Amino acid sequence: MGKGTQAVRVAGRFGVPHVSTGDLLRAALASRTEIGLTAKKFMEAGELVPDSVVLDLIRGRLGEPDAAGGFILDGFPRNAAQAESLGVLLEEIGGAVEAVVALEASDEALIARLSGRFSCPACNRVYNVHSNPPRRSGVCDEDSSELLQRSDDAEDVVRNRLRVYREQTEPLIAYYDARGLLARVAGAGEVGEITLRIERAVEEVRDRGSDAAAP
C-alpha cells in the first residue's frame, strides 16, 4: 500500500521524476490558483477533478526539462478518457507507456490506512492511528504541533474515493493488461519489500515488451 510513497521510491530507483496529479492539484490549491479553486470541491468530495484540468497540469509538467528522460506517473490516468489522452500526449512528445503498476489492496485495508492517516502541518511527518501512531495522541513527536487529517481522508470521503475508483479507474487494469503493459503487485507488507516487488514487476513487463519488439 501507499502508492505515493512507493511511486516516490520507485522514481528514485529509476532516476526519473515522480509526477503525481494529486500533489500537483494540492499545490495548485495551496497557492490558490484558478486550477486549485476549480479542483477543491471535487477533491473534498472524493470525486475526480475534470479531465481538462488534470490534462493541462500533466501536459505542463511533462514538458519540463527533467521529464525528458522519462517519469513515474502517480494517480494518473484515473479513467478511460485520461488514458486515451495520455497515449496521444506521449505520442506527441515521442514517448510511450512502458509499464503500468496496479498496487492491490483490500477495501478494508485502504479504509484503515487512509482514514487513519494524520500529518504534521509543520514538518509534514505522516502518522497512522492504527499502524504508526504518534507517542501522544493527535500531537507530532518531532515538534508537538497538532496533527491534521487531509480533508479527503475523512472516512465517508474515502468510501466515495473507493467507489469512484471501482467505477472509473479499475477498468484501466483491463485496458493496460490487453496491451501487455500491466504489472500486478500485492500492496500488503513492508515498504522496502513492496518497492522491490514493483521494480521486479516493471522490469518483467519491460523485458516482455522488448522481446515482442525484437525481430
Binding site for ligand AMP (CB under 6 A): 21-22, 25, 42-43, 46-49, 54, 75-76, 78, 82, 152, 161
Give least dist CB 153 to ligand AMP, A.
9
Nearest to 117 by CA among 71, 152, 153, 141: 153
3-state secondary structure of 139: strand
To the query of whether residue 197 is one of the catalytic residues in this protein, the response is no
Instruction: Decide whether 61 or 197 has the Cβ nearer to ligand AMP.
Output: 61
What grid cell was written down for 164?
A: 469512484
To the query of whether residue 41 is one of the catalytic residues in this protein, the response is no
Q: Minimal CB distance to ligand AMP: which residue?
A: 22
Give least dist CB 38 to ligand AMP, A.
11
Instruction: Decide whether 86 or 183 has the Cβ nearer to ligand AMP.
Output: 86
Give least dist CB 172 to ligand AMP, A.
11
Using CA of residue 119, residue 120, residue 126, residue 130, what is the dihedral sign?
negative
End-to-end CA distance of the chain: 38
DSSP 8-state assignment for residue 133: -
For residues 87 and 97, is the Cβ–Cβ distance under 8 A? Answer: yes
Contacts of 174 (CB under 8 A, 6+ apart): none
To the query of whether residue 78 is one of the catalytic residues in this protein, the response is yes
Give least dist CB 61 to ligand AMP, A.
12
- Residue tagged active-site, from 9, 61, 78, 197: 78
- Residue tagged active-site, from 26, 40, 150, 208: 150
- Residue tagged active-site, from 9, 61, 113, 161: 161
3-state secondary structure of 128: strand
Phi, psi of 104 (to 5 degrees): -100, 135
Instruction: Decide whether 150 or 206 has the Cβ nearer to ligand AMP.
Output: 150
Instruction: Decide whether 1 or 48 has the Cβ nearer to ligand AMP.
Output: 48
- Residue tagged active-site, from 9, 61, 113, 117: 117
What grid cell was written down for 155?
A: 472516512
- Residues marked as catalytic: 3, 78, 117, 150, 161
